[in-house]
Structure 1
């Protein structure tokens, strides 16, 4: 009676022979499947809203969405102007700012435009309150007028380090947009208009530096990063894979077939993504690049075994059959574990990484399908030439196997010491997600944001909605006093550039209504007086410049906005915690936290770590269970965990030494690398077990057999994977770059673990066996090939 391995062996051989007989039909089927899947690509779109990085249940997103329901939405485009010499208070530039402000109102979806020239300055004229633009169009801009405008602007807390720099050399125009968030064309259309506006201003004022930043340009930068990566990284990846694959295989036909297989895998996966209505984002847009890298492993293993068999004198058809027999199980197993690893990204709190996982998982499945269907069929019809090799030739892998066997104790102790040493460094990594730094300095948004931070202010804003006790409560002097005290407290905090607070307006109105007496720049002492001042002021404001961005409809709460330097994640958390403590002690018994996009990004890594701990644990358990069942050995299944977990520890230890900061992309690397690095372990252990179970070799000879039969393939695939993920380093989107660097490090560490640590563990732990089987009746050619 045949055993299960024998049945599996015969089934694969039967399949391989059937495939070779109907090779043209197999090629046709593969192409039909590709076309059917690829048709779904018509449904692919590009999401251009930073909100896609946050799940529907994200508490920071929910808090911010609630805030925007109460107050005016504050998605904005900030146009920053800095003359190359002098300050902004010149007739020519102020007229240019007036013109630019007027045209900015025509930006698609604009709801408000704030600038130095249309700032609503209030003053007293006898018993009247005059509210007007700081710079009047009819003003002839005489020297004394310029001096007056300069004095007011530099002293006004609502303008300083928000729309004018303290030295007066830089100013800004802020365009607030109310995006319906219904069409993908909303942000591109707004940005197209703003860029055209800016370009005309540059031509008219060549001596003025113009920068474009804000949350809407941030959204646009996400979209443009996706397009850039897809247009540059995929061709670069193909070039790298072409060179590395040909170097490892030394076969034109083998290289060509490999590139066809991985290309069709990427196309199929993107088509499936379209059928699933996935919207591409910077993380998910690199899925084709990741697929091209990972999908190549199956082809390499099959081709290297095929060429080895042919070098031993076996015919091409028999070599194809033998290669499928040897690799069918391991290739299926590695594909399955890789799919499990990438599907675990669905646990991520950031949906784009789940999309990356789903598309990549589809690509890995497609790569397995094409590798065991299309690749053998194409190799059967293409000419293949290899040089014969003497069966007794000693290879580098033979020497490496002997070295590991002789030095097992030293290698085991050394690798354990290295892992422990690097593991100690892992906690030194600091969480940091600064969305401005998500982009390379070559990206215009990053360059303009850095310029703005250096010359005007940062673009990070913390927002609080501070409730009064009742409707109309914002006029309560006690409430206003607390708002003013909190504003003053914020202004002395390190790194806070500006505080936009309605309390400053009340102080100015109180001064105005007391004959502009500087001593009266304080809060009104009577609630009715405060209400009258506010009503008078609001009635004087022009359309679009009301206080709905700061005061809610029933006047029961105000929004306070603190603009900070481009803080690190920890600095922002610390400021938020100090502010929450101050508010609890001085303002309200309830816990009040800051809101806004910056706070959403501040907590994204922390939340993603928590969610991915669950995802990675589930993936690890599933992969371990799969390996134990597939290897039919509980002990080897446990042993396999070591070389699968060690690379992650080593990677983040090295990262702590040379970088020291991790972002949201780093939180998914454990799951993705787990699915990838397990491939080498599976192939090594499958050959090791084949030597023991089919050839009845002892442990040392089984290790030699594994090195001889899979060592070259493991080295080749690892080199290709490292090169492939290293290509992501060229991404202009830092999250993709760091993911690529970390994964490449993990694969390199996995290669060391599988070549040094895993064999040493097997030699130390696995029971020694004596050879029983004889090979005297076996086919000499097959023995040499294996």
Structure 2
């Protein structure tokens, strides 16, 4: 009775769909229009992906830093090593460039050799003053510029590592963007529409191409590349899947309806993101393409079943009805398992992944619904398929492939298991070779100019990724006390000894600069003041701050002087060493700054990103385990058999281990992009498992519980759809390899490889396991009444239902 009621439900659904075609189509059009109106709400995120929950200590510490010192990622650097810089024409062009940038309302400060302010003392006012280093009236004098160049490299140890590299003679300017626009659309508009045109103008005037970098610049061009690639992915996915689809079915009509389904699905995906207020991130940018890649297999399954049915009895109306009644729940459950693979991201306690999980889960169910509704309605209005359209069912190449699989499963099961064990060992060994990457820029497009510029700055100035150390003395003006300055200087010496880090900048450098200024700019006195000198310097420093003529201190201490900031930079390639680097710093910090008197926080974008990657790894491993348990639970509910759970999990676990092993041997690190591979691939691969087992369960009942006959009959019915969908998924995910982002390329390639392994595992290892364990798996009592009837209903039972009616 349970099964009959299940058939009745889907027959009712089929009747509703086929008898209300116009209403349903109008409803789809209406929903599409309503969702299209939400497109205006789709915006691209203006901030980096934060992979850690807001209440985690890492984020709490980082936000505490931002509260005291503001946004750290507001620096753009412009540099050159060209010796022609200190010639009249080029220096004037450089000066004009900096002046123009400084005049923009989006820029808060520009520090450059042409506008450098020299700190000098005023004995009359007992304060320090800033005086121009460059005399604009002498810029046409080459001799003056030569002297200026010499003074610049020798008089300002404070700016070593910030504005110049004394050894290589590289010179750079620092452009500080207004912190209020750093995380807004205004930043993107300024950089693309104002900043870059000015850089191009300088290039045109002088022939010198400046190197440009810094987080605002990197983020803007990186985001622009991502947006540009969304269209590329959608177009490539539509093209390649439609070509494969047409090759399989040899039917222009079938290809058109499949494209119609996925195009509407893509439109819905953007509308759903807009309606939910989600921004386009590096992850959600993949959703429209995923809709295509996942939607086409649905279309294949429905259309292939329609062709099979029509091939049996040449009755179009009956074939359309049975497409729905025979495959309704089976296809729904396989889509649910795919959605489960993505839904596991929702439990990661991370906004970025949660949004990705929510959007993909909703869109997977949406694309299934569109396939279920549009395909039967479309074919109801057009003529039935002809012999050419049905020829793919008996294609010789496909028949040869399945004959090979059947023979392998029949006669070479020992070889199958041996191969599986070898691959398992290979994968496990490779897993031990995997490294975890904390690189912010590793996934960025490496063939772009801005990526080459990043490498330039890493070579000349030891990186552009900031690592921040915040020292809370817990006393007003405690950061300026000489004893604490000496502690910070000792910490700086430790940082300088760490080869992966740049020379740090802090209140210590400012204090040394004041001392040098007190001694009339003599670089030999670029030192911390002695106890006696401190007494003379304090009035000068206080009067300088009071008069507002110097803001250097304010960049490195908070308003009440209790908290000091120390900034160093790390080469991005050293992100994986972040833990060891922080451990070295922390060891020195614990010695210099006892926790009962000081609070020292080590933070910054580089640190947060590295910790976020490890957090993501822990969460995705747990979510993957959850996906296994959930899928196992579905199988247990559907089949009421623990043994069937094992049979379902093993063929899907092996491809994941194999892919992890390949990553280890090829040196592909675990990072946010590659970590997604396992959840996505598992969710898609397990579809074939459930389809095979569902069909196998049906064939057992049809064939009087004869194991071998049922297994090989399963190939005849479900095998073609499994093969077609796997091929489409393989090539569909391969389009991500067109990306200029290393992470997206790795995601596409690894998912494709995993799905290929998954297809072979489900077509070879899965039936071999069923045959080997047939004495227990085929126990009729175990299969009597599954809790959920996911099976394609047999012709006999449908005919019986129709006769009863």
| Alignment TM-score > 0.5, same fold | yes
Kindly provide the CA deviation profile for residues 192-218 of structure 1, in whole angstroms up to 9, marking residues without a partner as x: 221232222222222x11233211123
SS of residue paired to 2:277: coil
CA distance in 2, matches of 1:330, 1:747: 20
* Structure 1 position 658 matched with structure 2 position 666: yes
Alpha-carbon distance, 1:525 to partner:
1.7
Equivalent residue runs for 1:573-584 within 5 Å: 573-584=579-590
* Structure 1 position 529 matched with structure 2 position 527: no
CA distance in 2, matches of 1:294, 1:246: 17
CA distance in 1, matches of 2:424, 2:571: 38
* Structure 1 position 553 matched with structure 2 position 597: no
Q: 2:615 aligns with which of 591, 604, 607?
A: 607
Kindly provide the CA deviation profile for residues 602-658 of structure 1, in whole angstroms up to 9, marking residues without a partner as x: 111101112223322333222221222123433212321112222211111111112
* Structure 1 position 292 matched with structure 2 position 299: no
The farther-off stretch of 110-119 and 747-756 is 110-119
From the superposition, tell whether residues 225 and 54 of structure 1 become closer, same or farther in structure 2 (CA, over 3 Å). Answer: farther
Corresponding residue for residue 90 of structure 1 = 87
From the superposition, tell whether residues 271 and 392 of structure 1 become closer, same or farther in structure 2 (CA, over 3 Å). Answer: closer
Corresponding residue for residue 154 of structure 1 = 153
Kindly provide the CA deviation profile for residues 239-277 of structure 1, in whole angstroms up to 9, marking residues without a partner as x: 011111111222211111111112212222221221111
Query: Does the aligned pair in 1 maintain the 2:74–2:179 contact within 8 Å?
Result: no
- Specify which structure has the higher proportion of helix: 2
* Structure 1 position 677 matched with structure 2 position 685: yes
Query: Does the aligned pair in 2 maintain the 1:75–1:176 contact within 8 Å?
Result: no
CA distance in 1, matches of 2:633, 2:501: 52
Corresponding residue for residue 133 of structure 1 = 132
SS of residue paired to 1:665: helix
Corresponding residue for residue 211 of structure 1 = 211
CA distance in 2, matches of 1:242, 1:51: 33
The farther-off stretch of 723-732 and 55-64 is 55-64
From the superposition, tell whether residues 401 and 14 of structure 1 become closer, same or farther in structure 2 (CA, over 3 Å). Answer: farther
Alpha-carbon distance, 1:52 to partner:
5.4
CA distance in 1, matches of 2:572, 2:133: 29
The farther-off stretch of 599-608 and 123-132 is 123-132
Query: Does the aligned pair in 2 maintain the 1:344–1:615 contact within 8 Å?
Result: yes
CA distance in 2, matches of 1:518, 1:182: 36
From the superposition, tell whether residues 236 and 519 of structure 1 become closer, same or farther in structure 2 (CA, over 3 Å). Answer: closer
Query: Does the aligned pair in 2 maintain the 1:475–1:531 contact within 8 Å?
Result: no
SS of residue paired to 1:662: coil
Alpha-carbon distance, 1:148 to partner:
4.1
Corresponding residue for residue 719 of structure 1 = 727
Alpha-carbon distance, 1:292 to partner:
0.6
From the superposition, tell whether residues 149 and 550 of structure 1 become closer, same or farther in structure 2 (CA, over 3 Å). Answer: farther
Corresponding residue for residue 105 of structure 1 = 102
The farther-off stretch of 65-74 and 9-18 is 9-18
Corresponding residue for residue 32 of structure 2 = 34
Query: Does the aligned pair in 1 maintain the 2:446–2:452 contact within 8 Å?
Result: yes
The farther-off stretch of 709-718 and 102-111 is 102-111
Query: Does the aligned pair in 1 maintain the 2:440–2:572 contact within 8 Å?
Result: no
| RMSD over aligned Cα atoms | 3.0
Query: Does the aligned pair in 2 maintain the 1:81–1:209 contact within 8 Å?
Result: no
The farther-off stretch of 431-440 and 734-743 is 734-743
Corresponding residue for residue 328 of structure 1 = 328
Query: Does the aligned pair in 1 maintain the 2:516–2:527 contact within 8 Å?
Result: yes
Query: Does the aligned pair in 2 maintain the 1:74–1:177 contact within 8 Å?
Result: no
Equivalent residue runs for 1:626-665 within 5 Å: 626-665=634-673
Corresponding residue for residue 176 of structure 2 = 176
Corresponding residue for residue 114 of structure 2 = 117
SS of residue paired to 1:464: strand
Corresponding residue for residue 733 of structure 1 = 741
Alpha-carbon distance, 1:184 to partner:
4.0
Equivalent residue runs for 1:308-457 within 5 Å: 308-348=308-348, 350-383=350-383, 384-387=385-388, 396-457=401-462
Q: 2:506 aligns with which of 501, 519, 527?
A: 501
SS of residue paired to 1:117: helix
Query: Does the aligned pair in 1 maintain the 2:408–2:764 contact within 8 Å?
Result: no
| Number of equivalent positions | 773
Alpha-carbon distance, 1:46 to partner:
1.4
Query: Does the aligned pair in 2 maintain the 1:80–1:452 contact within 8 Å?
Result: no
* Structure 1 position 585 matched with structure 2 position 591: yes
CA distance in 2, matches of 1:347, 1:748: 28
CA distance in 2, matches of 1:78, 1:345: 35
TM-score by length of structure 2 reads 0.89
Query: Does the aligned pair in 1 maintain the 2:688–2:762 contact within 8 Å?
Result: yes
From the superposition, tell whether residues 408 and 139 of structure 1 become closer, same or farther in structure 2 (CA, over 3 Å). Answer: same
Query: Does the aligned pair in 2 maintain the 1:89–1:168 contact within 8 Å?
Result: no
Query: Does the aligned pair in 1 maintain the 2:443–2:744 contact within 8 Å?
Result: no
CA distance in 1, matches of 2:512, 2:652: 64
Kindly provide the CA deviation profile for residues 723-750 of structure 1, in whole angstroms up to 9, marking residues without a partner as x: 1111112223333332222221221121
CA distance in 2, matches of 1:558, 1:642: 55
Q: 1:59 aligns with which of 57, 60, 63?
A: 57
* Structure 1 position 747 matched with structure 2 position 752: no
From the superposition, tell whether residues 77 and 198 of structure 1 become closer, same or farther in structure 2 (CA, over 3 Å). Answer: farther
Kindly provide the CA deviation profile for residues 382-403 of structure 1, in whole angstroms up to 9, marking residues without a partner as x: 2322346799996542442232
CA distance in 1, matches of 2:625, 2:686: 15
Which runs of 5 or more structure 1 residues have no equivalent in the other structure?
Answer: 772-776
From the superposition, tell whether residues 663 and 349 of structure 1 become closer, same or farther in structure 2 (CA, over 3 Å). Answer: farther
Alpha-carbon distance, 1:313 to partner:
4.4
Alpha-carbon distance, 1:455 to partner:
4.2
Query: Does the aligned pair in 1 maintain the 2:110–2:175 contact within 8 Å?
Result: yes
Corresponding residue for residue 597 of structure 1 = 605
From the superposition, tell whether residues 480 and 561 of structure 1 become closer, same or farther in structure 2 (CA, over 3 Å). Answer: same
From the superposition, tell whether residues 382 and 170 of structure 1 become closer, same or farther in structure 2 (CA, over 3 Å). Answer: farther
CA distance in 1, matches of 2:54, 2:795: 62
TM-score by length of structure 1 reads 0.91
Query: Does the aligned pair in 2 maintain the 1:312–1:391 contact within 8 Å?
Result: no
Corresponding residue for residue 774 of structure 1 = none
Query: Does the aligned pair in 1 maintain the 2:84–2:90 contact within 8 Å?
Result: no
Alpha-carbon distance, 1:523 to partner:
1.7
Corresponding residue for residue 479 of structure 2 = 474
From the superposition, tell whether residues 695 and 24 of structure 1 become closer, same or farther in structure 2 (CA, over 3 Å). Answer: farther
Corresponding residue for residue 17 of structure 2 = 19
CA distance in 2, matches of 1:328, 1:336: 12
Query: Does the aligned pair in 2 maintain the 1:50–1:222 contact within 8 Å?
Result: no
From the superposition, tell whether residues 725 and 778 of structure 1 become closer, same or farther in structure 2 (CA, over 3 Å). Answer: closer
* Structure 1 position 766 matched with structure 2 position 764: no
Which runs of 5 or more structure 2 residues have no equivalent in the other structure?
Answer: 781-793, 800-805
Query: Does the aligned pair in 2 maintain the 1:233–1:728 contact within 8 Å?
Result: yes
